[in-house]
Structure 1
Amino acid sequence: MPFYINTEHLRNKIEYPKRYQSQNLVKSSVFVFLVILLFLLAFRPFGVYNPELRMHYFFICFLHALAPSLILFVYFGALNYFRQVKNKMQWNLLKEYLYIGILLVFIGISSFLMRDLLYNNPNNWSWDYLFEEIRNCLVAGVFFYFFLRLSNYYLESKKGSPFILQFIPLEVEAKKVALLSNIFISTQVKQDDFNLNIDQLLFVKADGNYIELTKSIGSQTTTEVKRISLTQFESQITDYPHFFRCHRTYLINMFKIKKVSGNSQGYLLSFNETDVKIPVSRKQVESFNTYYQELRSQCIT
């Protein structure tokens, strides 16, 4: 059986994690410091020869926890600066794993450089200890990183969040009854009536007695304004069940959604064709989940 790595999943564009964003860096660094400090004090994971210690073990643990938190703050602070300079360069899992690996190497080097301050050992500056510190940081850091990822997912999803670990985009049903792509929409003013290619429609936004139709035509995304309320428009496309009122001001094409993020307090829907993200209100989260599962089961069958 050949070995396979899902590189497409690793390279897919994802949102830049909140834990690395500038406004959250202090909180993330403090959290890392406290978790590492408590872990070192509780488990003493790496063998320490007491006669070699230059200070009390608590202060050694304090410094070993302080260094990673400071490096994390400076490292991602610099990265955030360059992201702004490059106009928010794209982020994906492969890039995140690479940056975390580099971060762990820096932390290992810092642990090596602190050895002369912490331990009375003539071999502090040996290559063996450099390799050992980097290896220990990589091994412990990988487990620590994935622990934080799982904790972060749990805290973001919160209690009662029913949604999916990985959103799978829907496909148009192969066996569904054929429906016309071009439909005629009637408005209150006859001269404002219009034809619409429903297959091109991504989402509709309400704006008082008007709606904004966002469509994908080839490689271009266009927006048109029409004089009709969203409720009136929705009542005329009931034959197309893949359109869902996810918010009081938004109607979306379920078949065009490529990514869902958020938690039980609300979702954000992403599309390939535009950077605009559409909200699913808190009241509609459960209905959205149910509707998605129904459409998905129809696509599979």
Structure 2
Amino acid sequence: MKLRFTQIKEYLKEPYPYYYDNTKRLFVLLILISILSFSFSYFFEPFGFNVTEHKINSIWIILFHAFIPVPIAYIYFRLLDITLKDNTVWTLGKEIFHLSIILLIIGICSFLIRDLIYTNPDNWSLRYLWEEMRNTFLVGFLLILIILPLNLERLINKHTTNLRELPKNKALELQNNIIILINSSVSNDNFELKIKDFLFAKVESNYTEIVTSSANGIRKKLIRITLKELEKQLQPVDQYIFKTHRSYLVHLNAIESISGNAQGYQLSLKNCSITIPVSRSKTTKFNAAYTKA
């Protein structure tokens, strides 16, 4: 029993794609889920119907319950996206947790609008509160337990398969003599970057953290510059630099190993314990850049 609980806990820690940072994609995703919810309720009628209590036709009630989650989930995820600092830490467990909160809100809303749909005098009773919550979670978790694991395995298989396109045991041909002056918006932060030492750069609020390696270990330098500006200044060696994620630039020839997960790739760099994400939308371009570098 303890072993099974540990396995479930580790499974919930699996990296999972964060789909909600794009407004159009979020809206399309919610519409597709609503269509699935409507189809399930319409064809299987899991909760039955007492048409004598209906103020409107049953088909409209199913439509109402299937599509009322769209504005609720849309607003929730837009607010979540504003507060989420790093979507690379998104996991299957976090996905389920936040979807559960949304289901809770939907269940409460479904209870509050019963008077608009049903003539039952007990609409405001605890019994119907429980019924609306139960029905919402039954449909919601049925979709969650089917869609999320299938999508997780699909993406892991896809990205693992894509790794086979990359060269094996690629030599680390680091540039020995190239030095680039990095200009910050604060002149005191200007410094010379030895490309052979550069590992990666990461966005940190209004700053960019530049990570390099040396004989004494890993060094980090925080400067006031955007990642886009840094990428532009590194154009003389752009064949070796790749933007793997909206928050990361990586030195391709500093990569020691690559693994795949549902979010895309994870890069391990030489003498560095920090892994760098490659978002799933960039894996194809990454494969081409890494092969040429």
Equivalent AA in structure 1 for residue 100 of structure 2: G
Whole-angstrom CA distance in 1 between matches of 2:90 and 2:2: 29
Show the counterpart of 1:49: 50
Paired residues in the alignment total 220
Contact kept in structure 1, 2:108 and 2:129, CA below 8 Å: yes
Whole-angstrom distance in 2 between the partners of 1:253 and 1:124: 62
Q: CA RMSD in A?
A: 4.4
Unaligned regions of 5+ residues in structure 1, if any? 165-182, 193-209, 232-248, 289-301
- CA apart distance, 1:9: 5.2
Matched AA of 2:136: C
Greater relative contact order structure (CA < 8 Å, 6+ sep): 2
Aligned partner of 1:128 in structure 2 is 127
Give the equivalent residue in structure 1 for 2:2: 2
1:145-294 residue pairs with structure 2 within 5 A? 145-150=144-149, 152-153=151-152, 161=158, 163=160, 214=199, 220=218, 250=253, 252-254=255-257, 257=258, 259-261=259-261, 268-271=265-268, 272-273=273-274, 275=276, 277=278, 281=284
Give the TM-score normalised by structure 2: 0.58
Structure 2 partner of 1:68: 69
Equivalent residue, structure 1, for 2:41:
40
**Counterpart in 2 of 1:77?**
78
- Using the TM superposition, give the Cα deviation of residue 19 of structure 1 relative to its aligned residue in structure 2, in angstroms: 4.9
Deviation at 1:112, TM superposition (A): 0.9
Residue 163 of structure 1, CA deviation: 3.0
How far apart are the structure 2 equivalents of 1:161 and 1:185?
A: 30
Q: After superposition, what is the alpha-carbon deviation per residue over 1:165-193, rounded to whole angstroms, capped at 9, x for unaligned?
A: xxxxxxxxxxxxxxxxxx99997xxxx5x
**Contact persistence 1:30–1:69 (CA under 8 A):** yes
2-structure distance, mates of 1:186, 1:65: 57
Judging changes above 3 Å, is the alpha-carbon distance between structure 1 residues 219 and 126 closer, same or farther for their aligned structure 2 residues?
A: farther
Counting aligned pairs with the same residue, the percent is: 24
What TM-score results when the alignment is normalised by the length of structure 1? 0.57
Query: Deviation string for 1:203-249 (max 9, x for gaps)?
Result: xxxxxxx86753656873579x9xx9x99xxxxxxxxxxxxxxxxx6
Secondary structure of residue in 2 paired with 1:260: strand
* Change beyond 3 A, Cα 1:143–1:276: closer
Q: Whole-Å Cα distance in 1 between the matches of residues 79 and 36 of structure 2? A: 23
Using the alignment, how far apart are the partners of 2:100 and 2:174 within structure 1?
55
Q: 1:221 to 1:61 in 2, by over 3 A?
A: farther
The SS at the match of 2:160 is: coil
* CA–CA separation in structure 1 for the residues paired with 2:111 and 2:173: 72
